[in-house]
Amino acid sequence: MGCDGIWERYVENSQGLIDLIQQLLKQHNNNLNIVIEKLLDELLAKDTREGIGCDNMTAIILLLK
């Protein structure tokens, strides 16, 4: 789950964000602290002149087993 600041880059391809999270979960052995940190780092705007990435970000990852 995430606010609009999380989904902003994936408006037309929400599966891309899901794929990124699944990749991060595998890379970091389901360590949610690291996964959230890496996810937010990845989504953080490198350059805000485009107007994208100027929003706040809140995310929660739920692992359902």
pLDDT of residue 59: 84
Q: What is the pLDDT along the chain (65 residues), one digit of tens a residue?
A: 777 777 777 767 889 888 999 999 999 999 999 999 998 888 877 777 766 666 678 888 887 77
pLDDT of residue 55: 67
pLDDT of residue 28: 96
pLDDT of residue 33: 92
pLDDT of residue 57: 80
Contact 47, 22 (CB under 8 A): no
